[in-house]
Structure 1
């Protein structure tokens, strides 16, 4: 795992948009019409980046952009700051079409933020035959990243991939790798399945870090307990959120860790780690399981009928995992402040 490289940053230095400009950068964000994705899009666009929003509802997306311009001023967010393209992660054909459009329009991509997600609710199967949370939260983003990877590798600006995970990964079931579709168990009205997918996000991040070491940096982030609409699919989630609403973060603050991993010079010297509160945080022990991470990768490739080679990865993975074990930061305050499934 790369070290910090001697980079020193003040705690909230990354919030200075002038000092951490992104002028000329191309950033793809999925699920950018609401919540954390919308606030990340706002902030990164204000830094000068062109934001390609991958959203299901185009009409809503244009309304959101109009509202952002009214709030920030058109001179701060000119027309070229936002591009909207339709993306429905519950439809793999939509993922492929979105990727083809993006690849054609943007030969170079600097940052990919896999932000969109679904939380709990009744078990549903997509038209592609996969459990909906598994496909939206993991498999669709896995395919999207695969399809865009060559364009990302073209960036000369130390490209980054951010996967929005959650502290909920700590509630993942022990043996879900053998039940990715949650056919045997769909516990807590789907919350366990959501937790499983959030652990998948961390595994994906770690394998990406090993595979593209020195070429792409990758991050898994927990936004915190945030006042968003993610709970809308489940009464159980709504009840959980009611109990934590008073201590939940604003959507703006919920986007901070995503923004940090996108712009921070210190984060730019790290890869494959899990972040909460804009700092490296220790995930649950299963997140460090190299074998399970690679099994998920291989199974995802099989499901999608793609060839994303893992040749010579194992030695790198073991070496870097040993080196990275010293880099985790204790987060004793997380259990008090972040009771989140966001």
Structure 2
């Protein structure tokens, strides 16, 4: 399409159910707000229910709140059971929630916090809800990655949980690379079904509380450059919204801001790192993720085609 893709390009979402993780603030809130404004029934899947209710009160439309703590597999299973009971069909699952540059911590299940929350939590949630999306024409799984998937990023199968040494930047890069690899592998597995697609997006550099754990050495330069690099959350949410709603989107695409550095601007298809397209690593990560979470995707078989 020609011109800049904006909120006004979001098609009518009436009759559609959208689940947005981490939707009580920042990018997730803006994503939920704009979907609800177009008529979607939106579920704010959040760790803090009180904050979720406060966010819901600020959104006009059909909005409900679901407790979901992505750092706990028990919470993920409980949330999935609630969502399955409430919604026989799901049109959009938007895996938006995340943590960034945190000091080394572990989830309730012993996973390194960034990998456990950003990747494994969403992997498990998607697997538990996928059969609610598969029968729905036009349904999508949208997973939010980051330009950070290029920075000191690799899947460290020999130390996935960073137990030997810890780099908060490296751990974030691994988690965001995993988000992309999950999307690409999921799309290959979904392709034969012809209904649901998997798409990825990144917000560029958005001014949200996600960056509160940025290392001190980076904080001052970022503050100086912020007017040139960052954008408001409502702009940062547009790549996710385009990935979720633009009829021209195809499975396996990646959307981000359109300026030269990928930091700000209107959303367009963008490229990810060569490492993110390594199918052997994608398949190995999928297998390991199933083993760690105990969640399998029985409805989608692995595909051996080349990307």
* TM-score, reference length from structure 1: 0.81
**Aligned equivalents of 2:26, 2:296: Cα separation in 1:** 34
Q: Which residue does the alignment assign to 2:285?
A: 296
Moved over 4 A (4+): 309-312
When Rg is computed on C-alpha atoms for both structures, the one with the higher figure is 1
**Aligned equivalents of 2:199, 2:224: Cα separation in 1:** 29
Superposition deviation, residue 222 in structure 1: 1.1
SS at match of 1:22: coil
- Are the equivalent residues in 1 in contact too, given 2:154–2:173 (CA < 8 A)? no
**Aligned equivalents of 1:240, 1:50: Cα separation in 2:** 41
Pick the aligned partner of 1:193 from 152, 171, 179: 171
Q: For residues 309-328 of structure 1, what are the structure 2 equivalents within 5 Å?
A: 313-316=302-305, 318=306, 321=307
Superposition deviation, residue 312 in structure 1: 6.0
Unaligned runs of 5+ in 2: 258-266
Post-superposition CA distance 1:123-159 (Å, at most 9, x none): 0012211111111100010000000000011213x10
**Aligned equivalents of 2:276, 2:125: Cα separation in 1:** 22
- Are the equivalent residues in 1 in contact too, given 2:155–2:174 (CA < 8 A)? no
- Are the equivalent residues in 2 in contact too, given 1:14–1:20 (CA < 8 A)? no
SS at match of 2:240: helix
Residue 115 (str. 1) matches residue 96 (str. 2): yes
Q: Which residue does the alignment assign to 1:148?
A: 129
Residue 40 (str. 1) matches residue 31 (str. 2): yes
Superposition deviation, residue 311 in structure 1: 8.0
- Are the equivalent residues in 2 in contact too, given 1:113–1:163 (CA < 8 A)? yes
- Are the equivalent residues in 2 in contact too, given 1:14–1:264 (CA < 8 A)? no
Q: For residues 120-131 of structure 1, what are the structure 2 equivalents within 5 Å?
A: 120-131=101-112
Mark the CA change 1:310 to 1:99 in structure 2 (over 3 Å): closer, same or farther. closer
Superposition CA RMSD, Å: 1.8
Superposition deviation, residue 241 in structure 1: 3.6
Residue 212 (str. 1) matches residue 212 (str. 2): no
- Are the equivalent residues in 1 in contact too, given 2:76–2:124 (CA < 8 A)? yes
**Aligned equivalents of 1:102, 1:310: Cα separation in 2:** 19
Moved more, 254-263 or 299-308: 299-308
Residue 249 (str. 1) matches residue 231 (str. 2): yes
Superposition deviation, residue 239 in structure 1: 4.0
Mark the CA change 1:153 to 1:186 in structure 2 (over 3 Å): closer, same or farther. same
SS at match of 2:58: helix
Mark the CA change 1:13 to 1:109 in structure 2 (over 3 Å): closer, same or farther. same
Residue 99 (str. 1) matches residue 99 (str. 2): no
**Aligned equivalents of 2:225, 2:285: Cα separation in 1:** 32
Q: Which residue does the alignment assign to 2:276?
A: 287
Post-superposition CA distance 1:220-259 (Å, at most 9, x none): 1110110000012344364454243212101110011011
- Are the equivalent residues in 2 in contact too, given 1:120–1:233 (CA < 8 A)? yes
- Are the equivalent residues in 1 in contact too, given 2:153–2:170 (CA < 8 A)? yes
Q: For residues 7-86 of structure 1, what are the structure 2 equivalents within 5 Å?
A: 9-12=1-4, 15-16=7-8, 20-68=11-59, 77-78=60-61, 81-86=62-67
**Aligned equivalents of 1:239, 1:182: Cα separation in 2:** 27
Q: Which residue does the alignment assign to 1:232?
A: 212
- Are the equivalent residues in 2 in contact too, given 1:231–1:238 (CA < 8 A)? no
**Aligned equivalents of 2:293, 2:66: Cα separation in 1:** 22
**Aligned equivalents of 1:311, 1:100: Cα separation in 2:** 20
- Are the equivalent residues in 2 in contact too, given 1:96–1:144 (CA < 8 A)? yes
Unaligned runs of 5+ in 1: 1-8, 69-76, 322-342
- Are the equivalent residues in 2 in contact too, given 1:209–1:218 (CA < 8 A)? yes
Post-superposition CA distance 1:172-217 (Å, at most 9, x none): 4445233211123322xx0110111000000000011100012211
Superposition deviation, residue 279 in structure 1: 1.7
Q: Which residue does the alignment assign to 2:142?
A: 162
- Are the equivalent residues in 2 in contact too, given 1:26–1:49 (CA < 8 A)? yes
